[in-house]
Amino acid sequence: MIKEYLKANDKSLILFGIVTVATVIGLTTWCTRIGEPLLKSILAVSAVAPYLFVYFALLFNKPSASLQAYLKKNPFHIFYLVIALMLPYSRYCLASQSFHWVGPIKLLALILGPLTFAAMAAKNHYGKWTVYDFTIVVWIWIPFDLRLLDGIWLWPPGDAEYSLNTLFALTLISPLYIYLRGVPKSGLPLQFQENDFNRSFHKVAPY
């Protein structure tokens, strides 16, 4: 699965790696400008960088057909995603010295609901929109709208928490609908191809 994915998306993964590193540098610089220690900023920002990289990699790359087939047969194995999503958050809490027991509980609740409903929908209604999908949207949207997700990202001070919640939610939803649900026209995969860049270049080239 991994070799297949890397072979199909090697160039774009390098690009997204560069974008992620540039974002980490930019956010770290901003954190130091508002008075946060440099080492703390580097460790905390880089801890959540995997969310950004994975989001880009899922959204713009060609999916792994073998992983899609595997999850179609074993939809509840999507729960391994809990580990992948919680590890960066744990690193973030340690690096930023901002751990509070409320944060992990809220984040787990945000994760487990969509995973459960998506797995149930994939098992019983693969490839079709169902009430489970509506429930997933409500599960994520209501906490955002009522600001029930406050207190998860306690660092840095300011309005960064909303942005981190948004990034986390997108990183959670992307694999569910790209790899698990099998619903056509979900609006998530936005794949770049080399000829896209070539066409863009010819449009702006003077000769």
In whole angstroms, what is the distance from residue 207 CA to residue 203 CA?
A: 10
Residue 133 Cα to chain centre, angstroms: 18
- pTM, entire model: 0.86
Res 194: pLDDT? 54
Which tokens is 11 given? 């160039």
Residues 6+ away with beta carbon under 8 Å from 79? 115, 119
- Considering the chain, what percentage of its residues have pLDDT values greater than 90? 70
Res 201: pLDDT? 40
Number of H helices, E strands in the chain: 8, 0
pLDDT (tens digit per residue) in 121-166: 999 999 899 999 999 999 999 998 898 999 999 999 877 899 999 9
Domain boundaries defined on the chain: 2-204
pLDDT (tens digit per residue) in 41-66: 999 999 999 999 999 988 888 888 99
Helix (H, G, I), strand (E, B) or coil at 35: coil
Q: What would the DSSP string read from start to end of 39-85?
A: HHHHHHHHHHHHHHHHHHHHHHSPP-HHHHHHHHH-GGGGGGHHHHH
In whole angstroms, what is the distance from residue 176 CA to residue 77 CA?
A: 12
The helix (H) or strand (E) run that includes residue 107 is helix 102-124
The whole-number average pLDDT for the span 169-191 is 79
